[in-house]
Amino acid sequence: MKKLAVLAAAMLLSGCVTAETMMLDDRTAIISGSGDEYSSAARVQRRVFVEAATAAQARGYRYFIIQNSRDTTTTGTRALPTQTFANAQANTNCGYVTCNTSAYGQSQTFGGGVQQVIQPGMDVLVRFYREEEVDPEREGVWDAAAILAAQPKK
């Protein structure tokens, strides 16, 4: 029950990530979750749990067990833009016969470089169970109804 309370509290902070279900048979699925560069791995994991719970209930199951998981996080780089600021000034002095012009200026460039981009992701293999098929007190058994009940109402 303690792990469910921690999961429920963490789900309240869930951000914008995606997850989808691919059924392998009537009770086994791969749940794939991914986030953008502003998402944390914890947010992706929470979204995967909610997707697994949703898939379980939609198929008439109450519980699920994660059989296997794989980190699908991707990393890459992005070029940062540069910005150049220029300042120029010209002066002209004229006498009776001639004019003298002088000019000076300076520029300064900011930014640029490369930034590392991390997009968290994970795939989990889950197996669904009905109430009479598994001991809900067994470690690693997740209650789909409890996970969904802990979600904020939209």
pLDDT of 10 higher than 80 = no
Task: Using the predicted structure, report yes or no on whether residue 26 has a pLDDT greater than 60.
Answer: yes
* pLDDT for residue 4 is more than 90: no
pLDDT computed for residue 34 by the predictor: 96
Secondary structure tally for the chain: helices H, strands E: 3, 9
N-to-C CA span, the chain: 25
Q: What percent of the chain has pLDDT over 90?
A: 62
**Closest to 37 measured CA to CA, from 112, 118, 98, 109:** 118
The residue among 3 and 121 whose pLDDT is bigger is 121
Contact yes or no for 72/45 (Cβ under 8 A) = no
| pLDDT on residue 106 | 83
Give the up-direction half-sphere exposure of residue 117: CA atoms within 13 A in the CB hemisphere.
Answer: 12
